[in-house]
């Protein structure tokens, strides 16, 4: 196996084309899969030495996060804490300190585990994914990208993510078997516009319910443009239980998750209220 450490995105794309290698982000999933011989790459293209992929910055319209930003870096970013609080919350509980120091948001998408902690917040925040391949760069909604199979064509590199700056309040909660080091059994991210006591557009994303994280259209439809009060919360709970029921069908975990999602949704909304300063 060959090992490359390109210094720029263009160099990485060229190596991917000529070597038929695969990209290595943080490695917390890929190294394990290689150890278990589930993946035996011809070549590895380590993206760790490309400075632009590590950036977290604010532009006029977006919060931009490079694909190689680690969960620790995002979890310590004041910008993400203030402008994308659901993502910030997800970064505090993902894996363990050691995993957070190494795992990246791009790798979270590339590996695309059903339980990937970073994806529900990004979906709820209306994030655009930026991809590059030999055919050029393209930007598309993360929700659309997650609907594609395969997720990425060979040689496509995840450059990063653009979160629109539209002053959303957002929250996140997950259910694991213990507090640290637990893979999410269920996760919920909620983002909404709030004008006084009235909710504008709402987006709710679920993780570990089915093959990939997804945005729920029906929740967005039912919960948008309403008063933000206790009956809104109760409506959300009954609706999200229906979404989980429909998504899981008669899978073994369905009876448990259908009930548990009520608490996870309630907690995600509570975290949104706390992060947004609604509960003092």
Partner 1 sequence: MMVIECIVNDKKYVLEVDPQERLLDVLRNHLGLLGTKEGCGEGECGACTVILDGKTVNSCLVLAGQAHNSVITTIEGVGNRQSPHPVQKAFVEVGAVQCGFCTPGMVLSAKNLLDKNPHPSDEEIGVALSGNLCRCTGYDKILRAVKLAAEEGK
Binding site for partner 1 (CB under 8 A): 1-3, 5, 24, 27-28, 31-32, 34-35, 44, 46, 48, 72, 95-99, 101-102, 179-181
User: What gap in Å lies between CA 206 and CA 182, rounded to an integer?
Assistant: 17
Nearer to partner 1 by C-beta: 24 or 129?
24
Nearer to partner 1 by C-beta: 43 or 220?
43
Residue 139 · residue 163 · CB < 8 Å: no
Nearer to partner 1 by C-beta: 32 or 246?
32
Nearer to partner 1 by C-beta: 46 or 193?
46
Integer CA distances (angstroms), 64 to 162, 189, 212, in order: 5, 19, 23
* Cβ 239 to partner 1 shortest distance, Å: 34
Paired tokens of 4? 């490359």
Residue 155 · residue 134 · CB < 8 Å: yes
User: What gap in Å lies between CA 118 and CA 230, rounded to an integer?
Assistant: 28
* Cβ 11 to partner 1 shortest distance, Å: 16
* Cβ 97 to partner 1 shortest distance, Å: 5
Cα 191 to its chain centre, rounded Å, is: 13
Nearer to partner 1 by C-beta: 3 or 17?
3
* Cβ 92 to partner 1 shortest distance, Å: 9
Strand, helix or coil for residue 158: strand
Nearer to partner 1 by C-beta: 95 or 126?
95
User: What gap in Å lies between CA 78 and CA 74, rounded to an integer?
Assistant: 9
User: What gap in Å lies between CA 172 and CA 122, rounded to an integer?
Assistant: 11
* Cβ 59 to partner 1 shortest distance, Å: 27
* Cβ 142 to partner 1 shortest distance, Å: 26
Structural Rg of the chain based on CA atoms: 19
* Cβ 80 to partner 1 shortest distance, Å: 18
Question: Is the peptide bond preceding residue 150 cis, with omega within 30 degrees of 0?
Answer: yes
User: What gap in Å lies between CA 171 and CA 272, rounded to an integer?
Assistant: 4
CA dihedral over 145, 150, 151, 156, signed as positive or negative: negative
Nearer to partner 1 by C-beta: 49 or 266?
49
* Cβ 172 to partner 1 shortest distance, Å: 17
Nearer to partner 1 by C-beta: 245 or 274?
274
Residue 90 · residue 189 · CB < 8 Å: yes
The CA angle 75-80-83, to the nearest 5 degrees, is: 150
């Amino acid at each position: 196996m060959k090992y490359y450490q390109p210094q720029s995105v263009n160099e990485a794309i060229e190596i991917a084309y000529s070597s038929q290698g695969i990209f290595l982000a943080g490695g917390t999933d890929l190294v394990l899969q290689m150890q278990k011989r589930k993946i035996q790459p011809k070549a590895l293209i380590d993206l760790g030495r490309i400075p632009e992929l590590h950036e977290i910055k604010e532009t006029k319209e977006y919060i931009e996060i490079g694909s190689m930003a680690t969960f620790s870096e995002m979890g310590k970013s004041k910008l993400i804490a203030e402008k994308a609080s659901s993502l910030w919350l997800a970064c505090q509980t993902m894996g363990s300190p050691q995993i957070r120091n190494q795992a990246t948001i791009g790798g979270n998408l590339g590996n695309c585990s059903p339980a990937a902690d970073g994806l529900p917040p990004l979906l709820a925040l209306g994030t655009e994914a930026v991809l590059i391949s030999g055919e050029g760069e393209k930007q598309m909604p993360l929700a659309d990208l997650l609907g594609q199979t395969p997720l990425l064509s060979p040689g496509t590199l995840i450059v990063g993510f653009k979160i629109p700056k539209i002053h959303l309040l957002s929250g996140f909660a997950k259910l694991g078997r213990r507090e640290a080091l637990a893979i999410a059994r269920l996760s919920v991210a909620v983002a909404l516009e709030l004008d006084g006591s009235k909710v504008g557009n709402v987006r709710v994303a679920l993780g570990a319910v089915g093959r990939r994280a997804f945005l729920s259209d029906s929740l967005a439809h039912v919960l948008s443009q309403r008063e933000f009060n206790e009956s809104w919360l109760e409506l959300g709970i009954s609706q999200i239980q229906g979404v989980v029921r429909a998504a899981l069908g008669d899978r073994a975990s369905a009876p448990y998750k259908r009930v548990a999602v009520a608490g996870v949704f309630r907690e995600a909304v509570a975290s949104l209220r706390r992060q947004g300063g609604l509960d003092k």
